Copies of this chain bind each other. A is one copy, B any other.
């Protein structure tokens, strides 16, 4: 099989786009990605979206976007797996090209949180948990993450403000990313004084819901146009895994099985081990998720993921740079687009186009997109071809 490569990337600024709609956001990212890919025309469109049927009263996004982007006629479908919708769209695009049935696939993630305000957003987010056994009792993703964090702090005797390193790193990396929602570095005191959302989870332990769209053009290596001039990045590994939807059904809620399984499969396919990975774009909607992913993949032993962040090892010069363009914490969390932004960020790093945020000699990236508390995990290994 020929390599499946990422020929084009595109993204909009992440933030609050009150003045434009879902289709406008999507189109902006698509335009950039198609241009970046030397004008390759896609045959299939895979849309990653998490909540538009509730947030924007809009389903059938595949056609909505294909129509608006002037791509009428092509295959178009939406992929949903809660917060992992972007990762799921990338994986389906990858499978389509790998099958040989589709030459050029366009993967787009899009979300518009500002189409709803107030408790409507929490109600929409709660549809991603178990409606009959969790949401009905008032559980939201943030309150669930807080319970998980509390248990982690208790079991592993994490000192006060032990999780600060995740937010500090993300915000430091967001400064130079012109598409990030927050471009201001924060100090340890800022984290320490932050307003509590759901004890022990504070404002800086969670990513802000935001609007945004990111796009990728996938193709086979032999189909690249002569106009393509970037260092080439291939998808070397792709895998997804599921766990119980409800946290209370887990044997060990402090270990993200799906993060381990999906990353393990993707690394096996790529013939790599975790020591080969130059950067890790984790799914840091909550700092506790970031810690648990570092442990699941193997970068830290159980109970020590937070320490890696506290010790500065996830910084751009650390042993395993994470959230290198600001992550979901500082770039913002545009729902079903988040997993596609991870891929865009990783490609920028692997092409050596990250400027102030460049991870030195980055060749291999792991990206991981989560739905719920790792009820879904989708992992991809992206690799620069020299």
Contact = CB atoms under 8 A, between A and B. Distances in A.
Contact of A372 (B63, B77, B243, B257): B63
A313 interface: no
Interface in A34-78: 44-45, 50-51, 53-54, 56-64, 66-67, 71-78
Copies in the complex: 2
Contacts of A243: 63, 67, 72-73
Nearest to A377: B75
Nearest to A53: B53
Contact of A77 (B56, B64, B92, B123): B92
Given A100-B98, A376-B76, A129 B60 contact: yes
A328 B300 CA distance: 54
A242 B95 contact: no
A117 interface: no
Interface string A105-137: 000000000000000000100111111100100
Find the residue from A58, A100, A243 having the highest chain B CB count within 10 A. Answer: A58
B51 A242 contact: no
Interface in A240-289: 240-246, 249, 257-258, 261
Interface of A: 1, 21, 44-45, 50-51, 53-54, 56-64, 66-67, 71-82, 88, 91-92, 95-96, 98-102, 123, 126-132, 135, 238-246, 249, 257-258, 261, 371-372, 375-376
17 contacts: A21-B132, A51-B59, A56-B131, A57-B131, A60-B82, A60-B129, A63-B242, A64-B130, A64-B245, A72-B242, A73-B241, A73-B261, A77-B376, A92-B92, A95-B95, A95-B96, A99-B99
